[in-house]
Amino acid sequence: MEDKGYRKLQWKIVGTTLGFSLIPLVALGLSMYYLFSFSYTSKIMDTLRSKAENRRVAMDLFFDERVSQLTTLAYTHSLDQLKDENYLNSVFTLMQARSKSYVDLGVIDRSGNHVAYVGPYELKGLNYHDEEWFHEVMLRGIYISDVYTGFRKLPHFIIAVMRREGDNTWILRATIDTDLFDSMVKAAQSGKKGDAYVLNDDNVLQTKPRYGGELLSKIDDFQMARFVGTHVEDMIIGGERGIFATTWLRNKDWMLVIKEDPREQLLPLEHARFLVVGLGLLGLILIIVGTLFVARAMVAQLMESEREKAILDSNLMQSSKMAALGKLAAGIAHEVNNPLAVIKEKVGWMKDLLGEEDISKSENFEEFEDAVKKIDHHVDRAKKVTHRLLGFARRMEPVQEKVDVNKLLDGTLDFLRNEAHYRNIEIQTNYFEGLPETVSDSAQLQQVFLNIFNNAIDAIGKDGVISVTTSYNSRDKDMVVIVADNGPGIPNDVLNRIFDPFFTTKEVGTGTGLGLSISYSIMEKLGGRILVASEVGKGTTFSLYIPIVHHEKA
Amino acid sequence: MDVFRVLVVDDELDFLETIVKRLKRRKVDATGVDSGKKALEILEKQHFDVVILDVRMPGMDGIETLKEIKRVRPLMEVIMLTGHASVESGMQGMQLGAFDYVLKPADIDELLEKVQQAYERKSLHEEKIRQSKDII
């Protein structure tokens, strides 16, 4: 398979793995976050709702108390009693001792005249007959005003109670300081940005909010008709987002508004979001890195095993090719050998006869003799070929004996020293000291060495160097004999075929083309292998791997 | 040199005929037969010193013939001629008691030398046996 195919496979693995791991991760993260966010928000809203309700109840109670105090006072005294300012003063002092929220106390008759007054201002003698609150209280019996600054230029509101005494009707009126009231509302302001204030039914502020707006200014964004209970909503009021709890007071057309800053209140939620996103990103990175790593490792493994398989395949192919060719070669040799034997005998017989007297006198005797010799010579040549072929095909069990490869190499090189010397070829040997002995077939190994050396000498021709190196690493199962020449080298297209039987680059008649194929099959039979590397112009290197066997087979 | 009698067994008639002629020319009393069966028959009737036996023959092959000859005439020396089935059968023959083997196509002088050696060994054996009989 090509690199492109592997890359594609790698991305497929990455894509699939990422898809299957990221989708659940994201889904889990999002749903966890939304569940948490939902429950947390509703908890905040519930808290806010109960806070608003508590506050409203307290304020209602505040009004109830004031109203019932005044009512009790009005109904337990007659107008005449209260007209007496000294008496009124003593009652007022008593009330103030209990609660500082009363600023003044006054009695107004049915015509609107302020008949008695106790307090810090000079209000006695004023007539309220044309004031709106006067009509309201005469109509309903009890009146609580909105906050106003009135004559005094200070925020306050009044509570007025009407008393019917026989035919007469009079009004007891108290001014309430908004300070206490304000502080009750302010107690509901929480956090850095939280706010609490009271609006009347015209959206006019009755207490001063912490942010944005003065007392008695209007906030137009609220459009709420009176409702029962408490509303909690996420709204934008005055350009600022907030969670607003709104509830109407029971005794008065006032609406309590408690605002909380969602950023502040939802900070833990924000933290949770950061945590989810952070952990998600971290997981994402881990998964991506892991996936890339695993995919790369898998593809590398695949490539490796595929390459091993390719090597195995090519080895297998070479072996089966050798086996098939061996059979073919043996068959041919057998068939040729018999007629060859007959020719040999016949020509021998002719030779014998030529020795007889009468024929030697014939005028063509020398021609006959020469022809017979030539036939004999060429039969011998053919015989060599068939015998080598038979040797190639032979499946004889190799002999098992202890072999010292260095010594064997030396012995083999001795055969060739004269030839090499004559051709001015230097033979360098570089033996590994302490090369272990192995159990093998020395005669067959020697045949392989001879073949390789002969090829090296033939490749160089004249003037050159052949180096013979042995090496061994105790971790390996093989020792290596490396035979390198500095001959012309072998071109790539030829290199693939050098182990094929009958493949030769030598001139016709000088080589059989069997040397290397025999060497190959011998090495294979001995459990080793033979590798070749060559570069045109630089030379050729044969590496012979000989397995190290310590014990002779039984 | 004694004249010794040699039996050549080979199914290839051209080969057989020629080698017999050549041996005769070299003062060897050679006889040729073209099968193992005939060889055994003729061994019953006549005396031979050495047998030259081709390994691969139709019918009864060289190895079988060798076993039979050794059974009937244990002292008979046999030289195997191998060409077809290669060295192994030659070696097998030697394990079965053949004197030696020669690869086909054989050189006549080489063959003759082996025949001579075989004959000498046979004579030696027979001499020893005769001596031991005398002692007894």
- Report helix, strand or coil for A513: coil
pLDDT value at residue A554? 42
Q: Is A373 on the interface with B (CB under 8 A)?
A: no
CB B69 within 8 A of CB B43: yes
Residue from A498, A520, A26, A179 nearest A319 by CA: A520
Interface of A with B in 392-451 (CB under 8 A): 393-394, 396
The string of DSSP letters for A431-476 reads PPTTPPPEEE-HHHHHHHHHHHHHHHHHHH-SSEEEEEEEEE-TTS
How far is it, in rounded angstroms, from Cα A20 to Cα A27?
11
pLDDT of res. A500 = 79
Reading the block at residue A232, the tokens are 């909690």
Residue A276 lies in a domain: no
Q: What is the dihedral of CA A282, A288, A294, A295, to 10 degrees?
A: 180
From the centroid of its chain, how far is CA A393? 60
Distance from the Cα of residue A14 to its chain's centroid: 9
Query: CB of A352 within 8 Å of any CB in chain B?
Result: yes
Determine the Cα–Cα distance for residues A150 and A253; give it in Å rounded to an integer: 20
pLDDT of residue A394: 55
Rounded to a whole number of angstroms, the distance from the CA of B130 to the nearest CA of chain A is 38
pLDDT for B136 equals 66
Residue count (chain A): 554
* Whole-complex ipTM: 0.82
User: Is B108 at the interface with chain A, CB within 8 A?
Assistant: yes
pLDDT of amino acid A388: 73
CATH at residue A472: 3.30.565.10
Q: Has domain B5-135 been given CATH number 2.130.10.10?
A: no
Residue A382 maps to a domain = no
A378 CB neighbours in chain B (<8 A) are none
What is the span of the domain harbouring residue A528?
A: 398-547
Which helix (H) or strand (E) is A91 found in, with range?
helix A85-98
B48 Cα to chain A: minimum distance (Å): 22
Q: Tell me, what's the pLDDT at A1?
A: 47
Q: What is the predicted pLDDT for the residue at B16? A: 92
Q: Give dist(CA A247, CA A229) in Å, integer.
A: 6
User: Could you tell me how far CA A3 lies from the centroid of its own chain?
Assistant: 24
A379 CB within 8 Å of a chain B CB? yes
d(CA B20, CA A337): 19
Residue A542 burial (CB count, 10 A): 24
Using the Cβ of B84 and the Cβ atoms of chain A, whether some distance falls under 8 Å is answered with yes
Q: Which helix (H) or strand (E) holds A172?
A: strand A168-177
Report domain extents, chain B. Answer: 5-135
The pair of structure tokens assigned to A167 is: 């035919």
A303 in contact with chain B, both atoms CB, cutoff 8 A: no
Residue A311 counted as domain residue: no
**Residue B32: per-residue pLDDT:** 93
Interface contact flag, B15 A343, Cβ < 8 Å = no
| Angstroms from A410 CA to nearest CA on chain B | 28
Contact B105 A337 (CB under 8 A): yes
**Which residues in chain A touch residue B80, judged by CB atoms under 8 angstroms apart?**
none
Residue A486 domain-assigned (yes or no): yes
Cis check: omega of the bond before B105, within 30 degrees of 0: yes
CB distance B59 to B34 below 8 Å: no
d(CA A158, CA A179): 13
Which tokens is A349 given? 């017989």
> Does residue A340 belong to the interface with chain B, where contact is any CB pair within 8 Å?
yes
Tracing tokens 């010193």 back to the chain, one arrives at B49
Q: Which pTM value belongs to this model?
A: 0.47
Do B84 and A342 count as a contact with CB atoms less than 8 A apart?
A: no
End-to-end Cα distance, chain B: 30
CB atoms within 10 A of CB A279: 12
- Whether residue A494 is contained in a domain is answered as yes
pLDDT in tens, chain B (136 residues): 567 899 999 988 999 999 999 999 888 999 999 999 999 999 999 999 999 998 888 888 888 999 999 998 888 899 988 765 556 677 777 778 888 888 888 888 889 999 999 988 888 888 888 888 777 6
Give Rg (Cα) of chain B: 14
Which residue stretches of A261-364 are H helix? 262-265, 267-354, 357-360
Write out chain A's pLDDT in tens, 554 residues.
457 888 888 888 889 988 998 898 889 888 988 898 888 888 888 988 999 999 999 889 988 988 998 899 889 988 888 888 888 888 888 888 877 778 888 999 888 888 888 888 777 778 888 888 888 888 888 898 888 876 667 788 889 999 988 888 899 999 888 887 788 888 888 878 888 888 888 888 888 888 777 777 777 777 777 788 888 888 887 777 888 888 998 888 888 888 888 777 778 888 888 888 898 889 889 989 999 999 999 999 998 998 888 878 877 776 677 667 777 877 788 788 888 889 999 998 888 888 877 777 778 888 888 899 999 999 988 887 787 777 666 544 556 778 889 988 988 888 788 888 888 999 999 998 888 888 888 778 888 898 899 889 888 888 899 999 999 887 888 899 999 999 898 888 888 888 877 777 776 556 667 778 888 888 888 888 899 999 888 899 999 999 988 775 54
Which position has the token pair 């906050």? Answer: A147
State how many domains chain A has: 1
